[in-house]
């Protein structure tokens, strides 16, 4: 046998403690959409705790990863060699932290563009960030 596997390529989950399916419904003008998501966990937990963990995961996904994908087109980045990918991730996170607290009503994408085009706007963002650090 292949290390205790019942068939070639069988997945191993040595610390698997929970398997869950969460069904969600989203209502839009076009109608109702139902999605099923499947989760595995290394810790046994109640349905309530699992729901909280899933919501925490999606809060991070929506607050950070979605912004990186949409605003910075992160999924299209082609930096792959050496430390380039990690370095650019740090730069993108720094940029998000810089433009997010701006007091105007502009989108993050527009703020990022304006900061690149207008040195005065960039300076105002940096000064606002410095004031927030001092507080």
Q: Which has more confidence, 11 or 45?
A: 45
Beta bridge partners of 39: 20
Q: What does the pLDDT look like over 27-63, one tens digit per residue?
A: 989 999 999 999 999 999 999 999 999 989 888 877 7
Does 1 score more than 50 pLDDT?
no
The domain ranges of the chain are 74-134
Mean pLDDT of the region 16-28: 90
How high is the pLDDT of residue 9?
81
Question: Model confidence at 8, in pLDDT bands (50, 70, 90)?
Answer: confident
Single pTM value for the model: 0.53
Does 3 score more than 70 pLDDT?
no
How high is the pLDDT of residue 13?
84
Query: Are 129 and 101 in contact, with CB atoms under 8 Å apart?
Result: yes
Q: What does the pLDDT look like over 79-96, one tens digit per residue?
A: 878 888 888 888 888 888
How high is the pLDDT of residue 69?
80
């Amino acid at each position: 046998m292949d290390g205790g596997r019942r068939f070639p390529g069988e997945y191993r989950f040595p610390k698997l403690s929970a398997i869950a399916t969460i069904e969600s419904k989203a209502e839009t003008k076009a109608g109702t959409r139902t999605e099923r998501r499947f989760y595995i966990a290394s810790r046994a937990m109640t349905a309530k705790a699992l729901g909280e963990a899933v919501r925490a995961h999606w809060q991070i996904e929506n607050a950070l990863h979605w912004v990186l994908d949409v605003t910075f087109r992160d999924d299209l980045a082609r930096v792959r060699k050496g430390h380039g990918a990690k370095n650019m991730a740090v730069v993108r996170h720094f940029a998000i932290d810089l433009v997010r607290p701006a007091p105007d009503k502009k989108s993050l994408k527009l703020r990022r563009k304006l900061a690149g085009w207008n040195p005065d706007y960039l300076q105002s963002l940096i000064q606002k960030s410095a004031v927030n650090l001092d507080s």
